[in-house]
Structure formats: C-alpha cells, structure tokens
C-alpha cells in the first residue's frame, strides 16, 4: 500500500475484540472449534451479529463455521450506521480496511459496478469511519481465508427505497458470480430476558420462512427489532436473486447467556441463506457432522436414568449424590493478585495507558481457566463480562474480562475515570464442566448448567437459579429454553447436561480486610 492510499484502520481492536493478533486468532479458533458444522451447500448469504466478541463472537462463529474451506471471489458486507445519519447507501471509497490480522482489500471493480447501477448507491466514507459493524466481521474472514476481497456497504437511512436499491443491485449484477453476502445485525436491545426471546423469535420466524415481504413490513413499522434490519432484508433480496430459496437459523443467544444478567439483554442471531437444489425442498434434513462437534466428551451419550423421582415441590432428593465439581483452589494471596490485575487492567484501559502488570510466575494463575469479572458501583451492577472457556491463563482471562466489563458491557456506558476509585470488583473463577448422568448431582445455588443437544446449547450461571428461586427442574427447563430447545429436552437421551461451579471473591472480602 502506498502512503496516499485510503485505508480504514481499526477502531474497535482492543475493545470489541483483542488487539493482539495471536490472542485474536486463538479466540476465533476457540469460537470456531465450539461451533457445529452443518452440511450446507450453495450458501449465498449469512446473517451475523456485530457486538463485542465476548458477547456475540460465539454466535457469529456458527455462521462462519459453515463457509470453512469454501472460496469466494468477493465478499459483500452490509451493515447499518449506528453513529452517523445519511440518506443513501455508502460503498467505501478507499482501498482497504485494516485489522490486527492485516489488510482486507476493497473489490474496486465490483464496487464501481454497484455505484454506477443506482443513484442511491454512492462512493463515500460516510458511515465507515466510526462504524464497528463491518469491522467486527473481518477478523473471522481473515482467519478463514488467506486473502479476501471485500465490498463494505453501510445503509444510512434504512428506508424501503435504500434497502431495495442495494439488494436488487447486488442480486442483478452478480447473479452468475461466486460471491458471498454478509448481513451484519444484532436483534432486540435492553429488554428483560424473556421479553427479548419473544421479540427475537419473531425475527427468526420470518428469516426461517424466507419471508422477505413480512419481515420488511414489520421492520419498517417498528414491530420487530434489528439494528441491521435493512442489511438483513437487502441480503435476503440479493440472495434470492442469486438463487437462494431456503434459510436456516443456526444459532441464537443473547447477552444474558454470557453474563448471567437477565434484566436488560441484547439478542444475537446466526443464519444462512442457501440454494436447495433438491426436488423436495420441504423434506430436506440438514444434518450435523458428528466429527465436528466441539467437545470430545459430548460424544458420550450414556446418561443413565435422568428421569428421577420428583417430589411435590419439584425438587429431587440429594441422597448419594457425590460432588466432585470444584473450581480452581486459590490462596488468599492469589485472589488478591487477580483482583489487583483486574483493577490495573480497568484503570489502564480507561486512562489509555499501558497496564503495569508484573510477570506472573505462579503456576496456578497460569493455568487455563474461564472466569467472570463483575463491577459494581454504589452497590449496583456497572458491568459484568466473562469467558466460560479455558482458553487463556487465569490471570490473562481476568485481565481481558476486567477491561471488557469496564468498557464493553452493552447494557452500560463505558466506565469513566471519575468512577474508578468508587467501584468494587468481584471475580468468579469457573470450574471445568462435568458431564453428568444423573440430575441428582445438580445442586441449585452451587452449580451452573450447560445443556447441549446437537448444535443447540445454552448456559446459566449458578447464581441465576438462586436469583429466580428455581428448583432443579425449573433450572433444567430454563437452561433448555436458553439453548433454543423445548423445556423438557433435558430428558432426551441425546441431550448432554454439564454442571460446573465457581469460586467467587471480591475486593470487599479480601483487600479491604487487610487494612
């Protein structure tokens, strides 16, 4: 690239996703490893979320897993504009987007064809400079493909005219070409968990039926919530012209599935639009390749008797239920080190300085482990983000999650410098997951649940059951619903149930007690 060429640099590396290339690759690899692969041919378009990776990265990975080992001449990414208003469709007028994983070159030839096809479509940097919803898609694509040519498109005002202008232009111009369309969107914002699911299921219903007309009408009437509704509808219009005739919902989760906080959540959807060339379109069954399931332990289908006797109150007897699910054993000194790392990470992230964290030689703190960091201010939640997977050393996980909780919990504004001295930090260190054969092993209030059936999966943290006064059966049912399954799916023979626990400690309990 020459100095005079226009390159759009990353604006959310280090916040929405890691700015270290190695850490970023490892995170994406982990997400993809934990996503099921469906044997879908002729994919024309994907629907992907665009929040911080800690929230929506796993859902996005379900879409991107479907295009592994495929090749495309060009990838068109359509997004909304969150921070800038303009009444046209903006095609980036530069040469490339840049992320920590390198350069993503702009497909200038096809971009020019789009702009020349309709006056509503223009070359511009409007909607690109401060917009994250295209950028967050790129690291996944750069991980999957050695080189990519992209066409970044931002729909300014999501009017019927702008939506159809770009959707029809893509579908008509590139009808016989090997391209992929990505629609970047999140779903409902800041509703209670149950309300969010009801709202988001309406979107799922229209997408799964490939019902463009009703999806568009409901979106334009504000009866459904998608910040990227225009991009999704445009992608569906284009994909249909490219031959797509069927859609599948691959994964749905919301932010509550990660944080455990259910009062105000954001919904995330993964879906694919594809051409089904079989004669019986309604009878085709899409099967999961078992050799691509995430956990090797998940291949164990021996559950014993899960239908244990339930008493009148819905509880199950605890008799003879051994408990060998324990989280990492930490000394007081190790807990204090982790709390200090969390505070230093938060402080440095807010002030924009390099964190002063010494080399960590402690064997336990260098063990790979999942953890959550919770921030409270004046006794009220101010941020909570975690990683349930043992991807990084515990101290590094705490460092990353502390920064994410402070700056990127979508339910709150980023923490400010004025608030630093008044916050309280709590850390929850997660145990490994244990596959159980008997639901008697579940201890409400101590154990969290992770339920998986095929490519559906859902997780609830231990404290959620306590907060909502659930017994075991309610806890199991709610975790099934979180996974997108029917509430009694936990009784199915091929449904896997995992339990885990957490070691929870805070500054109030430890550091303050030393003074």
- The rounded distance, in Å, linking the Cα atoms of 461 and 433 is 12
What integer is the mean pLDDT of 246-272?
92
Cα torsion angle, 287, 289, 290, 294, sign: negative
Q: For residue 200, what are the contacts with CB-CB under 8 A and spacing of at least 6?
A: 187, 188, 225, 252, 254, 267, 269
Low-confidence winner among 67-76, 115-124, 484-493 (lowest mean pLDDT) = 484-493
Q: HSE (CB half, 13 Å, CA atoms) of 233?
A: 27
Please say if the pLDDT value at position 185 is more than 70: yes
Q: Which band of pLDDT confidence, cut at 50, 70 and 90, is reported for residue 508?
A: confident
380-431 tens-digit pLDDT: 889 888 887 777 899 999 999 999 999 988 778 889 999 999 999 999 898 8
* pLDDT for position 325: 66
Look at residue 452 in the predicted model and tell me its pLDDT. 86
Q: What is the pLDDT of residue 4?
A: 55
Size of the chain, expressed as the number of residues it contains: 515
Say if domain 293-325+432-502 classifies as CATH 3.30.1490.150: yes
- Per the CB < 8 A criterion, the answer to whether 179 and 76 are in contact is yes
Confidence of residue 512 (pLDDT cuts 50, 70, 90): low
Rounded (5°) CA angle 271-272-276? 145
**What is the arithmetic mean of pLDDT over 477-501?**
88
What CATH number has the domain spanning 27-275?
3.40.830.10
For residue 84, name the pLDDT band (cuts at 50, 70, 90). Answer: confident
Mean pLDDT, the chain, whole residue set: 86
Q: Over 60: is that where the pLDDT of 271 sits?
A: yes
Task: Tell me the sheet residues that pair with 435.
Answer: 498
**Which pLDDT does position 324 carry in this prediction?**
56
- Domains of the chain by residue range: 27-275, 293-325+432-502, 332-430
Higher pLDDT, 75 or 409: 75
* Closest by Cα among 478, 500, 498 to 488: 478
Highest mean pLDDT among 4-8, 239-243, 370-374: 239-243
State how far the Cα of 224 lies from the Cα of 219, in Å rounded to an integer: 5
Q: Which residue has the tokens 């990414």?
A: 77
Split at pLDDT 50, 70, 90, the class of 158 is very high
In the chain, the percentage of residues whose pLDDT exceeds 70 is 88
What average pLDDT does this structure show over 441-453? 90
* pLDDT per position as a tens digit, 90-112: 999 999 999 999 999 999 999 99
d(CA 442, CA 434): 11
Q: Once rounded to an integer, what is the mean pLDDT over residues 444-467? A: 82
Cβ pair 452, 300 in contact under 8 A: no
Which of 65-79, 243-257, 287-301 has the least mean pLDDT?
A: 287-301
Q: Give whole-number Cα distances, 436 to 20, 47, 301, in Å.
A: 37, 34, 10
* Better-scored residue on pLDDT, 323 or 235: 235
Please tell me the predicted confidence (pLDDT) of residue 262: 87
Mean pLDDT of 170-194: 95
What is the model's pTM?
0.61
Distance CA 448, CA 468 (A): 13
Token pair recorded at residue 480: 């099934």
**Which pLDDT belongs to residue 484?**
73
What superfamily in CATH does domain 332-430 come from?
A: Hypothetical protein ph0010; domain 1 (3.30.700.20)
Give the mean model confidence (pLDDT) for residues 356-383: 90
Residue with the larger pLDDT of the pair 102 and 458: 102
Structure tokens at 16: 């929405």
């Amino acid at each position: 690239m020459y100095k005079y060429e226009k390159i759009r640099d990353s604006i959310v590396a280090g916040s929405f996703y890691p700015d270290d290339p190695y850490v970023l690759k490892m995170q994406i690899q982990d997400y993809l490893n934990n996503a099921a692969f469906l044997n879908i041919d002729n994919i024309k378009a994907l629907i992907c979320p665009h929040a911080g990776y800690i929230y929506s990265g796993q859902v996005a990975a379900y879409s991107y897993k479907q295009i592994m080992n495929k090749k495309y001449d060009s990838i068109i990414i359509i997004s909304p504009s969150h921070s800038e208003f303009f009444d046209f469709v903006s095609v980036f007028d530069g040469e490339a987007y840049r992320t920590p994983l390198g350069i993503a070159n702009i497909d200038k030839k096809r971009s020019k064809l789009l702009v020349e096809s309709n006056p509503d479509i223009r070359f511009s940097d409007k909607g690109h400079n401060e917009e994250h919803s295209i950028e967050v898609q790129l690291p996944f694509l750069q991980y999957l493909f050695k080189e990519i040519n992209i066409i970044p498109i931002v729909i300014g005002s999501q009017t019927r005219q702008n939506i159809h202008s770009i959707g029809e232009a893509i579908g008509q111009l590139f009808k016989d070409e090997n391209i992929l369309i990505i629609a970047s969107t999140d779903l409902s914002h800041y509703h209670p968990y149950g309300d969010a699911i009801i709202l988001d299921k309406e979107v799922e219903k229209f997408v799964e039926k490939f019902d463009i007309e009703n999806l568009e009408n409901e979106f334009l009437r504000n009866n459904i919530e998608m910040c990227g509704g225009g991009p999704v509808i445009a992608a569906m219009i284009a994909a249909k012209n490219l031959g797509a005739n069927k859609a599948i919902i691959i994964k749905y989760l919301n932010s509550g599935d990660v944080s455990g906080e259910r009062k105000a959540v954001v919904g995330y959807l993964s879906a694919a639009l594809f051409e089904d060339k079989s004669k019986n379109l309604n009878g085709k069954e899409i099967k999961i390749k078992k050799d691509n399931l995430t956990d090797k332990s998940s291949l164990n289908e021996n559950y014993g008797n899960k239908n244990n006797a339930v008493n009148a109150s819905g509880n199950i007897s605890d008799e003879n239920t051994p408990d060998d699910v324990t989280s990492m054993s930490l000394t007081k000194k190790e807990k204090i080190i982790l709390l200090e790392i969390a505070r230093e990470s938060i402080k440095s992230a807010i002030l924009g300085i390099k964190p002063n964290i010494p080399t960590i030689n402690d064997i336990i703190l260098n063990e790979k482990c999942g953890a959550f960091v919770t921030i409270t201010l004046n006794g009220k939640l101010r941020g909570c983000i975690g990683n349930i997977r043992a991807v990084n050393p515990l101290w590094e996980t705490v460092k990353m999650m502390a920064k994410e909780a402070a700056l990127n919990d979508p339910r709150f504004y980023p923490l400010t410098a004025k608030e630093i001295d008044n916050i309280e930090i709590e850390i929850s260190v997660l145990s490994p997951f244990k596959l159980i054969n008997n639901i008697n092993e579940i201890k409400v209030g101590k154990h969290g649940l992770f339920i998986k059936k095929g490519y559906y999966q859902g997780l609830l943290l231990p404290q959620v059951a306590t907060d909502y006064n659930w017994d075991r059966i309610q806890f199991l049912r709610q975790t099934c619903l979180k996974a997108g399954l029917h509430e009694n799916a936990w009784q199915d023979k091929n449904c896997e149930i995992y339990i885990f626990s957490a070691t929870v400690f805070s500054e109030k309990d430890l550091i303050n007690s030393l003074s």
